[in-house]
């Protein structure tokens, strides 16, 4: 073997070794990505299950309130339904990310992955919109109860409430469809989702703040008025504070999420932004879906009564099932005893 052949052989061997090292490094990165995706998927699914359970329990507790459901409780039902839809969409997004890292666009149908991602994002925006306007409706009802108490019954009739609920969900679905239409245009999509939508959200938040300031001023003004039911005033003021807590929770969870999503668009190669998004900010929306019903239920007396009624009903059902089981066992034992007696005779 001459020197030329040896040189070619050495170069080939070195190139093969380098390719092997690069391949191993790539495989290691893919394995790390799959492990991270699996961890994020499990955390998201657990949080979504908690959100679904809590919101469903709050729905059943609200439906078991002994008295007639007032407007605020119906809007709370709208909020819990929006939370359930939002948690479901978040679980779909987590599933999409996991499938991408597990199979890649070449293994699993890339069209299915794209449809799953787009559908989850549209459903999420619809749920967030419905959640925001439900909270706005709660703030408006308490504003009417405190600032315009004599017109409260007139302005909170069922037909007005159902009209507002229809506006909430029709507009929320319209937002989702609008995003769906402009998804093919990246520039329009970024403007709508990362600029117009957060601006609308901030306007709703500022409007609720203005309502709160008006309510606070009116409460201080009429607190010493003996012609007004002070107990009812304090109750409505406490309920408005509950609405403010729901609003602040939504803001604290939504604003960091939107900021990170915007930075991901403007700085797509910044690894630190993606790390913060994947490890922390992506869980904020579903955490908000968990906190909302806990705040409202823990600060509302009737919801607590509804939980007690629901617990009693579940206990009665369990006792009835046990009694039915014991009755069947008794009947079976009686039949066996009768059969043995007949066989002996």
Task: Give 270-295 pLDDT, tens digit per residue.
Answer: 778 877 777 777 888 889 899 989 99
Closest CA to 127 of 187, 71, 48: 48
Question: What's the first-to-final CA gap in the chain, in angstroms?
Answer: 106
Measure the CA dihedral 14/17/22/27, to 10°. Answer: 170
Question: Is residue 69 over pLDDT 60?
Answer: yes
Domains annotated on the chain, with CATH? 40-312 (1.20.1070.10)
Question: Is residue 97 over pLDDT 80?
Answer: no
Question: Is residue 311 over pLDDT 80?
Answer: yes
How confident is the model over 66-78, as a mean pLDDT? 88
Give pLDDT, residue 186: 66
Tens-place pLDDT, residues 133-177: 898 888 888 888 877 877 777 878 888 889 989 999 998 888 888
Q: What percent of the chain has pLDDT over 90?
A: 12
Whether pTM exceeds 0.95: no
Give the chain as a 3 state SS string.
CCHHHHHHHHHHHHHHHHHHHHHHHHHHHHHHHHHHHHHHHHHHHHHHHHHHHHHHHHHHHHHCCCCCCCHHHHHHHHHHHHHHHHHHHHHHHHHHHHHHHHHHHHHCCHHHHHHHHHHHHHHHHHHHHHHHHHHHHHHHHHHHHHHCHHHHHHHCCHHHHHHHHHHHHHHHHHHHHHHHHHHHCHHHHHHHHHHHHHHHHHHHHHHHHHHHHHHHHHHHHHCCCCCCCHHHHHHHHHHHHHHHHHHHHHHHHHHHHHHHHHHHHHCCCCHHHHHHHHHCHHHHHHHHHHHHHHHHHHCCHHHHHHHHHHHHHHHHHHHHHHHHHHHHHHHHHHHHHHHHHHHHC
User: Among 111-125, 265-279, 325-339, where is mean pLDDT lowest?
Assistant: 325-339
Q: Which residue matches tokens 């009903």? A: 313
Tens-place pLDDT, residues 236-246: 777 778 888 88
User: Among 25-39, 41-55, 179-193, where is mean pLDDT lowest?
Assistant: 25-39
């Amino acid at each position: 073997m001459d020197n030329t052949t040896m040189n070619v052989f050495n170069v080939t061997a070195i190139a093969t070794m380098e390719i092997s090292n690069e391949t191993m490094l790539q495989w290691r990165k893919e394995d790390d990505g799959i492990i991270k995706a699996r961890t994020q998927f499990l955390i998201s699914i657990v949080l979504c299950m908690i959100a679904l359970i809590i919101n469903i329990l709050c729905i059943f507790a609200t439906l078991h309130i002994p008295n007639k459901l007032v407007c605020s409780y119906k809007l709370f039902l709208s909020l819990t339904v929006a939370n359930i839809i939002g948690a479901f969409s978040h679980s779909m997004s987590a599933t999409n990310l996991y499938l991408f890292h597990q199979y890649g666009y070449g293994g699993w149908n890339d069209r299915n992955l794209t449809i799953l991602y787009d559908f989850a994002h549209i459903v999420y925006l619809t749920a967030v919109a419905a959640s925001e306007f439900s909270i706005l409706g709660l703030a408006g009802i308490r504003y009417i109860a405190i600032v315009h108490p004599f017109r409260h019954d007139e302005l909170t009739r069922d037909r007005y409430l159902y009209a507002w609920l229809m506006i909430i969900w029709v507009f929320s679905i319209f937002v989702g469809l609008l995003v769906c239409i402009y998804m093919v245009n990246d520039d329009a999509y970024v403007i709508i989702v990362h600029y117009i939508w957060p601006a609308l959200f901030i306007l709703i938040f500022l409007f609720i703040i203005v309502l709160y300031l008006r309510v606070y001023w009116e409460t201080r003004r009429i607190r010493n008025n003996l012609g007004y039911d002070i107990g009812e005033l304090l109750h409505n003021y406490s309920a408005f504070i509950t609405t403010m807590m729901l609003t602040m929770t939504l803001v604290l969870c939504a604003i960091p999420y939107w900021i990170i999503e915007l930075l991901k668009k403007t700085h797509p190669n910044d690894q630190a932004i993606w790390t913060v998004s994947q490890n922390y900010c992506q869980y904020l929306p579903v955490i908000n879906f968990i906190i909302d019903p806990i705040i409202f239920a823990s600060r509302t007396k009737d919801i607590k009564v509804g939980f007690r009624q629901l617990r009693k009903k579940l206990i009665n059902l369990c006792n009835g099932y046990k009694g039915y089981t014991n009755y069947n066992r008794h009947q079976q034992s009686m039949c066996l005893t009768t059969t043995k007696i007949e066989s002996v005779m």
